[in-house]
């Protein structure tokens, strides 16, 4: 395999760090060309010293002077949304991994697609808020968009070129830490409990989303766009061991499933090595130790965020961007202990009910709807 040159947008996060582990394990095959973080310039500089990229970028411009001063001309330094978009189109890069958290990923993703880079997309909020525009750009530019989110990576591998015969997509969910809680217990959930996911180590925002099951709702919308699947054909099944990463059901009754240990380095590496496979640093799945796999249906009453997300997806237009922005704001407020766990879906529902959906929105209208929802949510919280 020819060496692939990689840019990581969001290198200091959970996915970004694991991507660097994959790259470190295959120095012949992969090379880092550019790294971007939001504000953690200390870690960004450490990563730069280790991986020697050509360009660094900090998303929050106020950290630019400090970053520039500390690297003393060793790397080209960019900043802000403009910098992220410039990095996403870096001429010397083949692959752009978008692993920022939140709708901040929309513009760099579109920029990378426009520059015909292979986009390894971890950032689900981008597809949720702007999926129609992103998929249209992928078609127009004839670019590869390879999903990193484990469920979608699984479906991508199962579906291959058999899209015409798909009956249903089955997204698996661990159910999160509160899958066995009674409705009464859900009222007193603390931040510490919500951040303690049984199966996956992830950033704080997605960990809370996994606890409310919003994460699965976002993934339904993500799957709708990635695989042109009707909402009625996207099913959710709780599979608490997180060993089946998702399944495709075909019209003849066959199911293809993707199994493996719960380790994001597998889908990250696949998005880099595709269509080839490489030895992975992840451990192997031990079926005997696993014993059995359990299935159950999700409970929409205890987890209203899931329903809200699917409703937003079905409404379409600007509604998913609004739902996503309200959720991002609510989760941040929950983490700051300004909102209780069950107030997260309440806030999202309230913001969605006030929004007048615009169908077939432009990027500008999506960004406006996103900002409106953030302002509206903040106003209701504070």
Judged by CB under 6 A, the residue of 64, 132, 135, 203 near ligand NDP is: 203
CB of 231 to ligand NDP, least distance (A): 20
CA 218 to chain centre: 9
Residue 181 main-chain phi, psi, to 5 deg? -75, 145
Report d(CA 175, CA 188) in Å as an integer: 18
Report d(CA 331, CA 101) in Å as an integer: 12
Judged by CB under 6 A, the residue of 10, 53, 131, 313 near ligand NDP is: 10
Yes or no: say if 128 and 150 are a contact pair by the CB < 8 Å rule.
Answer: no
By CB under 5 A, tell whether 149 contacts Mg ion: yes
State which of positions 281-310 bind ligand NDP (CB under 6 A).
none
CB of 106 to Mg ion, least distance (A): 19
Closest CB to Mg ion among residues 32, 153? 153
Give residues with Cβ within 8 angstroms of 136, minimum separation 6: none
Q: Which does residue 125 bind out of ligand NDP, Mg ion, none, counting CB within 5 to 8 angstroms by kind? A: ligand NDP
Report d(CA 344, CA 326) in Å as an integer: 9
Residue, CB closest to Mg ion:
149
Q: Which does residue 319 bind out of Mg ion, ligand NDP, none, counting CB within 5 to 8 angstroms by kind? A: none
Judged by CB under 6 A, the residue of 6, 7, 14, 75 near ligand NDP is: 14
Closest CB to ligand NDP among residues 215, 273? 215
Judged by CB under 6 A, the residue of 124, 179, 355, 374 near ligand NDP is: 124
Cis check: omega of the bond before 275, within 30 degrees of 0 = yes
CB of 188 to ligand NDP, least distance (A): 26
Bridge-based pairing state of the strands 145-147 and 118-121: parallel
CA 345 to chain centre: 20
By CB under 6 A, tell whether 16 contacts ligand NDP: yes
Three-state SS at 304: helix
By CB under 6 A, tell whether 19 contacts ligand NDP: no
Yes or no: say if 322 and 352 are a contact pair by the CB < 8 Å rule.
Answer: yes
Closest CB to ligand NDP among residues 267, 345? 267
Residue 315: count other Cβ atoms within 10 Å of its Cβ.
16
CB of 152 to Mg ion, least distance (A): 7
State which of positions 224-263 bind ligand NDP (CB under 6 A).
none
Rg (CA), the chain: 20
Bridge-based pairing state of the strands 234-238 and 166-173: parallel
State which of positions 43-62 bind ligand NDP (CB under 6 A).
59-60
Tell me 95's DSSP state.
E
By CB under 6 A, tell whether 86 contacts ligand NDP: no
Residues in contact with ligand NDP by the rule CB under 6 A: 10-16, 36-40, 59-60, 84, 99-101, 104, 122-125, 149, 200, 202-203, 205-206, 264
């Amino acid at each position: 395999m020819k060496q692939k040159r990689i840019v990581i947008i969001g290198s200091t996060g959970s996915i970004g760090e694991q991507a660097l582990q994959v790259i470190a394990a295959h120095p012949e095959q992969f090379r880092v060309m550019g790294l971007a973080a939001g504000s953690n310039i200390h870690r960004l500089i450490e990563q730069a010293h280790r991986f020697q990229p050509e360009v660094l970028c900090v998303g929050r411009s106020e950290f630019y002077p400090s970053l520039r001063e500390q690297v003393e001309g060793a790397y080209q330094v960019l900043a802000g949304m403009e910098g992220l978009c410039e990095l996403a189109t870096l001429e010397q890069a083949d692959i752009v991994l978008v692993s920022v958290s939140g709708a901040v990923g929309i513009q760099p993703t579109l920029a990378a697609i426009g520059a015909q880079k292979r986009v390894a997309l971890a950032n689900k909020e981008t597809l949720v808020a702007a999926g129609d525009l992103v998929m249209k750009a992928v078609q127009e530019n004839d670019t590869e968009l390879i999903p990193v989110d484990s469920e979608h990576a699984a479906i991508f591998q199962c579906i291959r070129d058999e899209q015409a015969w798909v009956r249903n997509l089955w997204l698996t969910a661990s159910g999160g830490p509160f899958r066995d809680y009674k409705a009464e217990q859900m009222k007193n959930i603390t931040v510490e409990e919500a951040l303690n996911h049984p199966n996956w180590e992830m950033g704080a925002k997605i960990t809370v989303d996994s606890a409310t099951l919003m994460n699965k709702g976002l993934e339904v919308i993500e799957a709708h766009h990635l695989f042109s699947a009707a909402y009625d054909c996207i099913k959710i099944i709780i599979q608490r061991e997180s060993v089946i990463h998702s399944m495709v059901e075909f019209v003849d009754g066959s199911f293809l499933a993707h199994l493996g240990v719960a380790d994001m380095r597998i889908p990250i590496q696949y998005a880099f090595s595709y269509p080839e496979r490489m030895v992975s640093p992840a451990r192997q799945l031990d079926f005997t130790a696993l014993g059995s796999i359990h299935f159950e249906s999700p409970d929409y009453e205890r987890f209203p965020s899931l329903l809200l997300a699917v409703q937003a997806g079905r409404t379409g237009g600007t509604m998913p961007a609004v739902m996503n922005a309200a959720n991002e704001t609510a989760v941040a407020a929950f983490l700051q202990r300004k909102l209780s766990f069950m107030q997260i879906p309440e806030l999202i529902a309230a913001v969605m009910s006030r929004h007048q959906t615009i169908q077939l929105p432009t990027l500008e209208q999506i960004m406006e709807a996103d900002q409106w929802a953030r302002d509206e949510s903040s106003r209701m919280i504070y």
